[in-house]
Chain A
């Protein structure tokens, strides 16, 4: 089976700093990984994804790093802004459409 965990339930950063949110997964055969952002009272919003044939992918202000050796995934947010405050989930799948979600990390950005 697959279990997905996050290292920290809450991450507090100062506006302008970089944020790093981590995620560990258990199934070494997992082949697709996604980061979602969820604001209060809303559904998850897609941020960035990566497949197992890559180890890094960049978007606008965000970078996802995949380390298959240690089964670790991270999301880096550059120049964190107040609008980045939300709960961030990693989700993982293996050769299937179904996603297994991590427990979530709450990112708090203070001025």
Chain B
């Protein structure tokens, strides 16, 4: 149980384009989803907290207009990296949990901006 699916697993695109990443809870309803960013050989840094039906809460230093988050249902949250540039290249990971902990994670999306 508690499976979180993330799609796509990797994407390469040109600078200036927007990229959408999906995070789905497959076998439970996720009241809260989280988006993290991870640089090579570093830890996970929380970007934002997403609650179904409400606006996401962003961590300090994360541009909300750059990283658009939508949590339209209890099983789906999306992260859109708008006008992506090479410095946005990273490993993006989502997590979700339902009525109780722990958070379960997707397998991440490796984003490369050329």
Contacts and interface: CB of A to CB of B under 8 A. Distances in A.
Interface of A: 32, 34, 36, 41-46, 49, 89, 97-104
B93 A103 contact: no
Contacts of A104: 42-43
Top-9 shortest CB links A-B: A43-B105, A43-B107, A101-B43, A101-B44, A44-B105, A43-B108, A43-B93, A42-B107, A103-B43
Interface of B: 2, 4, 6, 32, 34, 42-46, 49, 93, 95, 97, 101-108, 110
B101 A89 contact: no
Q: Which of A32, A89, A98, A103 has the most CB of B within 10 A?
A: A98
Contact of B43 (A34, A42, A45, A102): A102
A64 to B, nearest CB: 12
Contacts of A98: 34, 46, 49
A89 B46 contact: no
Nearest to B110: A41
A90 to B, nearest CB: 10
Nearest to B57: A98
A43 B43 contact: no
A46 B17 CA distance: 34
A32 B2 CA distance: 19
A45 B4 CA distance: 11
A69 B42 CA distance: 28
B2 to A, nearest CB: 8
B97 A46 contact: no
A44 B43 contact: no
Given A101-B44, A102-B43, A46 B104 contact: yes
A60 B43 CA distance: 25
Contacts of A34: 101-103
